[in-house]
Structure 1
């Protein structure tokens, strides 16, 4: 039973997430050789204030220009 977990910063529409889930499901089905009902796709959304890169949250990155 393949299980694919995707973590995204919060902010995408339900339609975008659903479309991605379909694409991931189809990719696993095409490459792994399992039955469709055995594929699991989990999407986790993280608040942009709870995800940091280089000590700046994603929210901060979109609020202010980066410093050189």
Structure 2
């Protein structure tokens, strides 16, 4: 059972996250022939104030 973990800055819509789950599942199926129902995708959303880029928070950078 493949498990894919995604860490990303918060702020994407539910529709975008659903599309990401679908596309990652399909990519896993194509790459290693894993049955769709066996693929697990975990999305960890990081608050912008807890995500650092170049020494500054994403929040301060306006991301």
TM-score, shorter chain, exceeding 0.5: yes
Which aligned segments of 4 or more residues in structure 1 are displaced greater than 6 angstroms? none
For structure 2, list consecutive stretches of 5 or more residues without a partner in the other structure: none
Residue pairs, 1:20-31, within 5 angstroms:
20-31=20-31
Query: Which is helix-richer, 1 or 2?
Result: 1
Q: TM-score, normalised on structure 1?
A: 0.86
When the two chains are superposed, the root-mean-square deviation of aligned CA atoms in Å is: 1.2
**Structure 1 spans left out of the alignment, 5+ residues:** 64-68
Structure with higher Rg: it is 1
Count of paired positions: 63
